[in-house]
Structure 1
Amino acid sequence: MDLRIFTEPQQGASYLDLLRVAQATETLGYDAFFRSDHYLVMGDGDGLPGPTDAWTTLAGLARETSTIRLGTLVTSATFRHPGVLAIQVAQVDEMSGGRVELGLGAGWFGAEHAAYGIPFPDKRFGLLTEQLEVITGLWGTPVGERYDYSGSHYTLTDSPALPKPVQQRSVLPGAAGVPVIVGGNGPRRTPALAARYATEYNTSFPEIADIPERFSRVRAACEAVGRPADELVYSAALVMCVGSDEAELARRAAAIGREPGELREHGVAGTVSEVVDRIGALAAMGVERLYLQVLDLSDLDHLDLVAREVRPRLG
């Protein structure tokens, strides 16, 4: 089971806050550091010092880490033109020495678009589909050849399709360029996109019991297009709240404004032995990679506890 740290900086974090967490993630031996791509705080709180841009952040972290993988869960298709995003991600991939992954989604948080003047069309799935087509098309075009695309939302003419990601020649089977993560909970269109474009399918904050069915839909979509379903990595993102005892668990739950019982039901939460059992159950459901959502970025001891006490006990 790959364990990855997943952060929500829009809730209030500076670049230095994220750097501390990313470097702790690397030092403690986690597989990756990921962040959300949002521009507005959600729920209570002032979000100070204000939002950080996902790909600007990852560019900095690419130069200040050396082994962990870096990525977004997920970049919104409404935030960037696919041609620009393909260049940005390829550049950060080079800056990291080939450690970047791109999670891409349709976008859903209308308030952040209004707050920063970003168009938020009612129908966004077509944008996402064309962005996946364009980005993978640009990365997959051989050097020296040109790329053209004409869709309902984007038109590219005589593009040199440069730069290429460092991972161009070593990417997982079935994709060109950096690994692409497609996530979502839709029953039909999302599995179809994952089967066509993704190296990984992610389900974020699902009901635990729903996970096998969501994976099954993606596997069926792969079979429908003649792609081996096992080419994809199947992952889940869940909130993390672990304590060495009940008192520590309660303290960590209070720090993020949640109740221990609710966290135990919906996340990777509880005492060390409970969390080991939960991760084992997720693995039995087909989860191969787990994104642990860390909401208190000041509590690096939390990451240490899981690395020291939980990870060694996983099968």
Structure 2
Amino acid sequence: MDLRIFTEPQQGATYDDLLAVARATEDLGYDAFFRSDHYLAMGDGDGLPGPTDAWLTLAGLALQTSRIRLGTLVTSATFRHPGPLAISVAQADQMSDGRIDVGLGAGWFDAEHSAYGIPFPSLGERFDRLEDTLEIVTGLWTTPAGETFDYAGRHLSVANSPALPKPTQSPRPPIIIGGLGPRRTPALAARFADEFNVPFAPRETVVAMYDRVRTTCASVGRDSDELVYSASLVLCCGESDADVARRADAIGREPSELRENGAAGTVDEVVAKIESYREVGVTRLYLQVLDLHDLDHLALVADKVAPQLG
């Protein structure tokens, strides 16, 4: 089981906060450091000191880490034009010596679009734009050097592009697609994804979504075993019930709710929860860490949980 640390810096974090977590992630033996790509705090928090840009962050971390993979869960296709996005990701991949994964989604948080002047079209158009973005970024990355790339989509097009620069990874960085959509999400995953992620869902939902993706892969002639199947869960682990309660309180959640919906509880409880997701086909788990100053939390899981997972 690959364990990846997943952060939500829009809730309130500086680059230095994220750097400290990324370095702990690397030093403690985790597989990767990921961050959300959002511009507005959610819930009751004030979000101070304000958002950090996902790809600027990952470019900085590319130079200040050496082993862990780095990526987004997920970059919204509404945030960036696909050409500049392909350039930014390729450059970050070069800076990291080929350690970038890129999660791409349609976008869903209307308020952050309004807050920062980003157009927020209908759901159908957002998925159309996501499909166009996937076509364009993969096309730009995989077009042979010296050739040009053209694409005419429903909403986004490129013409006579030199398709530069190229990422370090060949043919391209791994693409993660995820979510709970019953139709277009599996279709896009079957066509474009290297990994399919189900976020914050019970095991039965994970199974259903994996089945949809596998069925869709078969319908388009793709081997579904080519994909990595992952999930995301909120982390709240403690050596005692008191520790669990303290960590739950620090992120404004109830221990009982976290035990039901997250990777939460004592060490043995967290091991059992992770194993239960492994049993339904999860091979990579994103542990959402919401208190970025509690680096002892990461150390506890690395020292006491990870060795039991084999």
Shorter-normalised TM-score: what interval? over 0.9
* Superimposed CA distance per residue, residues 227-250 of structure 1 (whole angstroms, 9 cap, x where no aligned partner): 111100000011000000101000
Corresponding residue for residue 172 of structure 1: none
The amino acid that maps onto 1:288 is: T
Matched, 1:232 2:227: yes
Conservation of the 8 A alpha-carbon contact between 2:90 and 2:165: yes
Corresponding residue for residue 20 of structure 1: 20
Corresponding residue for residue 214 of structure 1: 209
Residue 239 of structure 2 is aligned with which of 244, 264, 269? Answer: 244
Conservation of the 8 A alpha-carbon contact between 2:194 and 2:226: yes
Conservation of the 8 A alpha-carbon contact between 2:200 and 2:231: yes
Structure 1: how far apart are the matches of 2:298 and 2:146? Answer: 46
Corresponding residue for residue 46 of structure 2: 46
Corresponding residue for residue 130 of structure 1: 132
Structure 1: how far apart are the matches of 2:228 and 2:86? Answer: 22
Residue 260 of structure 1 is aligned with which of 246, 255, 265? Answer: 255
Structure 1: how far apart are the matches of 2:300 and 2:220? Answer: 43
Deviation, 1:154, is 1.4
Structure 2: how far apart are the matches of 1:208 and 1:261? Answer: 18
Corresponding residue for residue 164 of structure 1: 166
Matched residues, percent identical? 68
3-state SS of 2:18 partner: helix
* Superimposed CA distance per residue, residues 258-287 of structure 1 (whole angstroms, 9 cap, x where no aligned partner): 111100100101110111111111000000
Residue 269 of structure 2 is aligned with which of 266, 271, 274? Answer: 274
Conservation of the 8 A alpha-carbon contact between 2:203 and 2:280: no
Corresponding residue for residue 194 of structure 1: 189
Q: Which runs of 4+ in 1 moved over 3 A?
A: none
Matched, 1:110 2:105: no
Structure 2: how far apart are the matches of 1:152 and 1:231? Answer: 28
Corresponding residue for residue 120 of structure 2: 120
Corresponding residue for residue 92 of structure 2: 92
**Is there any run of 5+ residues in structure 2 with no aligned partner, and where?**
none
Structure 2: how far apart are the matches of 1:268 and 1:63? Answer: 31
Deviation, 1:152, is 1.8
* Superimposed CA distance per residue, residues 127-148 of structure 1 (whole angstroms, 9 cap, x where no aligned partner): 0011001111111101111101
Corresponding residue for residue 290 of structure 1: 285
Matched, 1:307 2:309: no
The amino acid that maps onto 1:266 is: N
Deviation, 1:209, is 2.4
The amino acid that maps onto 1:79 is: F
Corresponding residue for residue 68 of structure 1: 68
Deviation, 1:210, is 1.2
* Superimposed CA distance per residue, residues 113-170 of structure 1 (whole angstroms, 9 cap, x where no aligned partner): 10011111113110001100111111110111110111121121111101111001xx
Structure 2: how far apart are the matches of 1:14 and 1:246? Answer: 30
The amino acid that maps onto 1:40 is: L
Q: TM-score, normalised by structure 2?
A: 0.98
Q: How many residues align?
A: 308
Structure 1: how far apart are the matches of 2:30 and 2:220? Answer: 34
Structure 2: how far apart are the matches of 1:109 and 1:279? Answer: 29
Corresponding residue for residue 183 of structure 1: 178
1:133-148 residue pairs with structure 2 within 5 A?
Answer: 133-148=135-150
Conservation of the 8 A alpha-carbon contact between 2:129 and 2:155: yes
The amino acid that maps onto 1:88 is: S
Conservation of the 8 A alpha-carbon contact between 2:38 and 2:112: yes
Matched, 1:9 2:9: yes
Structure 1: how far apart are the matches of 2:86 and 2:139? Answer: 10
Deviation, 1:32, is 0.2
Conservation of the 8 A alpha-carbon contact between 2:36 and 2:54: yes
Conservation of the 8 A alpha-carbon contact between 1:208 and 1:266: no
3-state SS of 2:58 partner: helix
